[in-house]
Amino acid sequence: MYGIKDLLDYMPTPFYFKTDEIKDYLIRTRDNILTNLLFFYSNGKTDFDEKCKHINKNYFVHFLTSHLSYSYDYIYSKIINKRIEPMQSYWIASYVLSRRDRNRLAGEEYTMFESYEFVKDPLHNVSNIEISFNEICDALDSVVLNSPSYIEGMVKMKIGDDYVFRIFDNNNGHFTDFKDPPVPSKARFLNVEYTHPLMNRSIEFFLDKDVYFVDNQILSPTFVKLCLESQSEPYHFDMDYVIKIMDDNITWFDLKFDKSILLTEDGYLLV
């Protein structure tokens, strides 16, 4: 690659009579620099990718980078007031959707309470997961049934990468016990959008493949509220919302406040 010394050696005194030659020389120099930069970037990018693969094989470094990444997401979520899941892979969360008396209390009409339980030794004692989940479901079901101000309860469990959901309302005193491992459902939804008459545009929900398991009850009011609080777009939430859904048969349908979806082995049911 040409340098400053080459440029000075090339220019005889006086050099201003050879402006065309100087211009051509500078163009060639520029092209050489760009070519070398592209070469160095390409090699550097390849080396970086290979080092990242090597780093991910190192448990300690992978552990450290994962925690740093989660810490960033956690701080960002707190700044914008967005919910974020725990970093752990085995936990059970309980949610209660409550309706506030607007004649007596200020604030949003609907509020959601959340609590977490973390399962001990989940990889070596599967019964701990099953028993803990079913006990929490039974307790939350009882709370919602006996509290008129509670619209709905939801238990959400994460086991590895998979999610399990159960829903409880004032009229429902029954739930399906969980047995590990969860059974996959064939149901899939290609598009899920939250709409409301007071909103100018919809909010798209992205349902992960790890949600589609038999007996999971999804897109109930509590599920919807959690989805809204886990994203950053402004929204309005009350019983006037409509969820617009397209399934894998390219069939569109609406889901309102009083309905949810129960996943079955072959598809889904509106309940």
Examine residue 123 and state whether it is found in any structural domain, yes or no: yes
How many Cα atoms occupy the beta-carbon half-sphere of 91 within 13 Å? 12
- Whether residue 62 lies inside any domain: the answer is no
What are the residues whose beta carbons fall under 8 Å from the beta carbon of 135, sequence distance 6 or more?
none
- The percent helix, strand, coil of the chain (3-state, each to 5) is 35, 25, 40
Same-domain check for residues 152 and 235: yes
Same structural domain for residues 173 and 217?
yes
Its domain, for residue 33, covers 4-56
Total domains in the chain come to: 2
Is residue 247 in some structural domain? yes
Tell me the pLDDT of the chain (271 aa) as tens digits. Answer: 445 445 445 444 444 445 555 555 555 555 565 455 555 545 554 665 565 555 555 666 767 777 788 887 888 888 888 898 999 989 999 999 998 877 777 778 899 999 999 988 777 777 788 889 999 999 999 899 888 889 999 999 999 999 999 999 877 667 788 888 899 999 999 999 999 999 999 999 999 999 999 999 999 999 999 999 999 999 999 999 999 999 999 999 999 999 999 999 999 999 9
Do 37 and 128 lie in a common domain?
no
The verdict on 227 and 96 lying in the same domain is: yes
Shared domain check, 42 and 92: no
**DSSP per position, 53-85:** HHHHHSHHHHHHHHHHHHHHHHHHHHHTT----
Q: Are residues 37 and 105 in the same domain?
A: no
Q: What is the pLDDT of residues 10-49, one digit of tens each?
A: 444 444 445 555 555 555 555 565 455 555 545 554 665 5
Identify whether residues 201 and 113 lie together within a single domain: yes
> Could you tell me the two tokens for 254?
């609406």
Residue 59 phi, psi dihedral angles, 5° rounding: -60, -45
Residue 74 forms part of a structural domain: no
Q: Is residue 83 part of a domain?
A: no
Residues 37 and 113 occupy one common structural domain: no
Domain membership of residue 188 (yes or no) is: yes
264 and 137 co-located in one domain: yes
Q: Are residues 140 and 241 located together in one domain of the fold?
A: yes
